[in-house]
Amino acid sequence: MSSPSLVLPEHLSLQHHQTARDKVVSTCRLPAGTVILSVRSLTSMLLPREKGRRCDFCHSLAPQDRGRLQRCTGCASYWYCDAKCQSLHWRTHKKYCKHVNAFCAERQFDQLESHSKLDALLLTYVLAELSARRTETKEGDDLDVLMFVSLLPGPVEGMDAPPTCPLSTSHRPVQTASELFVRCGNNNFSIHSHLTTIAHGVFPLASRLFNHSCVPNAVAKYRIAHAKEAVMEIVALRDIVPGEEICIPYVDPALVETRQQMFRFTYGFACICPSCAAFKRIDTSQPAPDKAGLESLGTSLRKFVFQDPRPDKTRLPSSPVNLETVPVEISPIFRESCLTSLCESFSAFSHDGPFESALEVGLTILAFYVVIYPPNYPQIGIFPSHFPLEPGSFLCPPGMHLLEMAKTAWNAFITMEGAETQLSGLKLLLQVRAFLGLSRQIWAVIGPEGDEGGPLAEIQVLERLLSEQEPP
């Protein structure tokens, strides 16, 4: 399918890519924090666990000051902030409102696996959106639709499209459900708020432009606002030089083992980057390290990354460290099961104590992230109960690791027993300040995203508490 002509902002240009058709490069220097592109979704779909908590149109949380969300009286299965969001959604929702409950109750839908149910609903929404646009334009497809149907198909070509909900419309899209379905899997983004996935969305221009990198120089964030469709913003993580390709991560780079499968099965390519090549040095046919092995690898990793493994001596490295530079004897710690155990321990210790153990394990996780993620990556915390992941989704709650470390050091400080010295208290306060400072630096680059509040608001609260402890 030929591509519609692209009108790009002046700071971007499209060039040929050896295997991924095209790539987008910067035409000038783009400083860290630049919003490189801002685009609205063609369509988006709330995840089932968010239904009734968030508006089906704008995805905002139920407003606390205005009480509960309002239900669609037609199907009673879609919820809105108010009449404004409902009427904005009605242009597409009216096409399946009458049929959606019966469709979801049918055996054919009910027997699908949960990821296929999501595919079926997303495909229904794409069909409803295309049909609404045909009704509105009467002249054929608009640029967004042409862009979507010109996207590279994923590796599901030849696979049957899932069943879709019948639509009430006299303007059916000209494209078949299969033609659209093969472009949904590899061109579908997880919309997140404070790093928690809340919805999936299709953003054709972003899909057309950005290839994947395991060490990306940009990331996608989302702006959610009442009565507006979700907006994706692509933000530069570091200064990008003229002529440099701009890439985003399609999967969480911390998934060093499963990311290869996701590239192959969801996106249809094999990643040959240096980080993926370095992972091949690890013999995954061997059992993963046991508890004692993990502890000793953790100490070695902290020593390698921070020079001094003691929590109060932590300094981030001045020169870049990455998977390629990690000594091969430490590299088994990058097995995914190790990260899961570390995160489980951190979660338990930082909740119930002992906080010193939480800080030690937390530092090992931080060392892991410093190796895996590029600078200013919003340090995604890991939540082990989210395994196994849906393809293409990111590891999400409980939020940014550095902020969790600051909170843990704060909790250690406020629960200190009388016998502990003033010096220990001072050391803990220094740690709170150091972790908060690093966290603030990252969020200053990323900027506001998702719902109101979030990490920036939490940082402010902790900064205030900290200032009350310090002499004026």
Ligand X SMILES: C[S@@+](CC[C@H](N)C(=O)[O-])C[C@H]1O[C@@H](n2cnc3c(N)ncnc32)[C@H](O)[C@@H]1O
User: Which residues make Cβ contacts (< 8 Å) with residue 274, sequence separation at least 6?
Assistant: 322, 323, 324
Q: Tell me how far apart the alpha carbons of residues 165 and 92 are, in angstroms, rounded to a whole number.
A: 13
Query: How far is 286 from 217, CA to CA, in rounded Å?
Result: 33
Q: How far is the CB of 19 from ligand X (least distance, A)?
A: 5
Which contiguous run of DSSP H or E holds residue 90? helix 83-96
Q: Is the torsion defined by CA of 140, 46, 377, 457 positive or negative? A: positive
Point out which residues bind ligand X (CB under 6 A). 17, 19-22, 151-152, 154, 186-187, 207-208, 211-212, 267-269
For ligand X, give the closer residue by CB, 22 or 142: 22
- Least distance to ligand X from the beta carbon of 263, Å? 8
Residue closer to ligand X (CB basis): 273 or 466: 273
Choice between 21 and 51, CB closer to ligand X: 21
Q: What is the DSSP letter of 288?
A: P
* Closest distance of CB 419 from ligand X, Å: 56
Q: Which is nearer to ligand X, 186 or 196 (CB)?
A: 186
Would you list the DSSP string of 41-78? -SEEEE-GGGBTTB-TTT-PBPPSTT-SPEEPTTTS--
- d(C-alpha 51, C-alpha 55), whole Å: 8
Taking the least distance from each CB to ligand X, the nearer of 154 and 378 is 154
The CB-of-200 to ligand X minimum distance in angstroms stands at 14
Check whether the bond before 354 is cis (ω within 30° of 0).
yes
Question: Which are the contacts of 251, defined by CB distance < 8 A and separation ≥ 6?
Answer: 212, 258, 259, 262, 263, 392, 394
Nearer to ligand X, 97 or 126 (CB): 126
Is 171 buried (19+), middle (13-18) or exposed (0-12) by CB count in 10 A? middle
In a 3-state reduction of DSSP, which class is residue 348?
helix
Is the CB of 271 or the CB of 402 nearer to ligand X?
A: 271
What span, in angstroms and rounded, lies between the C-alpha atoms of 390 and 115? 7
| Distance in Å, CB of 322 to ligand X, minimum | 17
Q: Output DSSP code: residue 240.
A: B
| Residue number with CB closer to ligand X (100 or 372) | 372
Report the residue number, 47 or 271, with the smaller CB distance to ligand X: 271
CB of 269 to ligand X, least distance (A): 4
Nearest approach in angstroms of CB 1 to ligand X is 11
Residue with smaller CB distance to ligand X, 154 or 454: 154
- Quote the CA–CA distance of 80 and 89 in Å, as a whole number: 9
- Cα separation of 367 and 339, whole Å? 11
Which two three-digit tokens encode residue 452?
Answer: 């109101």
Query: Taking the CA atoms of the chain, what radius of gyration do you get in angstroms?
Result: 24
In the complex, the smallest distance separating the C-beta of residue 223 from ligand X, rounded to whole angstroms, is 21
In sequence order, which residues have a C-beta less than 8 Å from that of residue 102 and are 6 or more positions away? none
Nearer CB in complex with ligand X: 147/343: 147
Q: Specify the residue, 247 or 436, whose C-beta has the smaller distance to ligand X.
A: 247
d(Cα 230, Cα 32) in Å, to the nearest integer? 23
Residue 215 CA: distances (Å) to CA of 282, 309, 325: 19, 25, 14
Minimal distance in Å, beta carbon 426 to ligand X? 47
Q: Taking a C-beta distance cutoff of 8 angstroms, is the pair 45, 78 a contact?
A: no
* Partners of 248 in beta bridges: 212
Alpha-carbon span 292 to 74, nearest angstrom: 59
Closest approach, Cβ 394 to ligand X, in A, equals: 16
> Shortest approach of ligand X to residue 175 CB, angstroms?
17
Provide, rounded to whole angstroms, the least separation between the CB of residue 276 and ligand X.
Answer: 10
